[in-house]
Amino acid sequence: MNFKEELQIRTKFAEDIIAGYLPKEEKYQKTIMEAMNYSMKSGGKRLRPIMMKECFGIFGGKGDIIYPFMAAIEMIHTYSLVHDDLPAMDNDEYRRGRKTTHVVFGEDMGILAGDALLNYAFETIGKAFIEKPYRESMGKAFALLAEKAGIYGMIGGQTVDVSAGTEEITIDKLTYIYELKTGALLEAAMMAGAVLADASEEQIIMVEKIAHDIGIAFQIQDDILDVTSTTKILGKPVHSDEKNRKTTYVSIIGLEKAKEEVRNLSQKALSRLETIIHKEVFLYRLIQYLIDREK
């Protein structure tokens, strides 16, 4: 079985897990459920739940305790995209080749759908505390997701990004934004998988470093694709960074150096990963794949 076939299997598995936790579209407030489910079913790579599950397995995790956390991390990621697309933020009309949530349901429901997905993520994990035998690792993973998604993580990074507006910012500040805005949620996904598998503190710290480098590389690759890809391949408008006068790695150091930085960060992550697993393990090959992704 080649890598793409393995990725399809893991993506389908993650899709099925996520679908099992989505709300039923019912009662007077069913519009919000419809908007939530529209957002969640708009495709995507499902990288965060996949990487969470891979780390869980690498460190010997077994059972279904990981499932609600897989669903929750994708809900958190999706809510952030729904809010990113709003007129007050990036004002995007398309994502993953479909109209964005606020375009379909209205700006008011776009805001509420994002709010609802964030709340539903923690509701989903909260139910696991009732339905499954409690383990200390569940509490640690719960707190980890909350912190990495909040003011010291993704929200913090988005705040710095929005506050910067169209001003020219330094490479250090841009890296800080990427660390929080993109890296933090990848760190949460991989670290939560390791935590739920009862990995050691040293192993969890190593996973955080690996995810940190992957996160920055991933966001720089987004900068590159905004310049080099097409709307058809990417599923959303290209050249939007230039149009919105946003500072990116490409605008600061140029396209070729940005590509080199992606390779360097990815190689650093892979070198660290080699201290934990064999090169043939799926997670290793997934990181290699992300280096050259087209969307």
> For each of the chain's 295 residues, which pLDDT tens digit applies?
889 999 999 999 999 999 999 999 999 999 999 999 999 998 889 999 999 999 999 999 999 999 999 999 999 999 999 999 999 998 889 888 899 999 999 999 999 999 999 999 999 999 999 988 888 999 999 999 999 999 999 999 999 999 987 777 899 999 999 999 999 999 999 999 999 999 999 999 999 999 999 999 999 998 999 888 656 555 556 556 656 678 899 999 999 999 999 999 999 999 999 988 877 789 999 988 887 777 6
State how far the Cα of 54 lies from the Cα of 209, in Å rounded to an integer.
Answer: 16
Per-residue pLDDT at 119:
97
How far, in whole angstroms, is CA 171 from its chain's centroid? 22
Q: Which residue in the block uniquely carries the two structure tokens 């990815």? A: 266
CATH of residue 127: 1.10.600.10
Backbone angles phi, psi at 146, to 5 degrees: -65, -45
State how far the Cα of 111 lies from the Cα of 84, in Å rounded to an integer.
Answer: 10
State how far the Cα of 24 lies from the Cα of 26, in Å rounded to an integer.
Answer: 6
Per-residue pLDDT at 228:
82
Number of domains in the chain: 1
Q: Please tell me the pTM assigned to this model.
A: 0.92
Q: Mutual orientation of helices 67-84 and 184-196 as an angle, nearest 10°?
A: 170
Q: CA 141 → CA 65, 66, 169, 194, 224, distances in Å?
A: 11, 10, 34, 9, 33
Per-residue pLDDT at 49:
98
Per-residue pLDDT at 42:
86
For residue 213, the enclosing domain spans 3-291
Q: Are 188 and 179 in contact (CB under 8 A)?
A: no
3-state secondary structure of 151: coil
Name the β-bridge partners of 95: 98
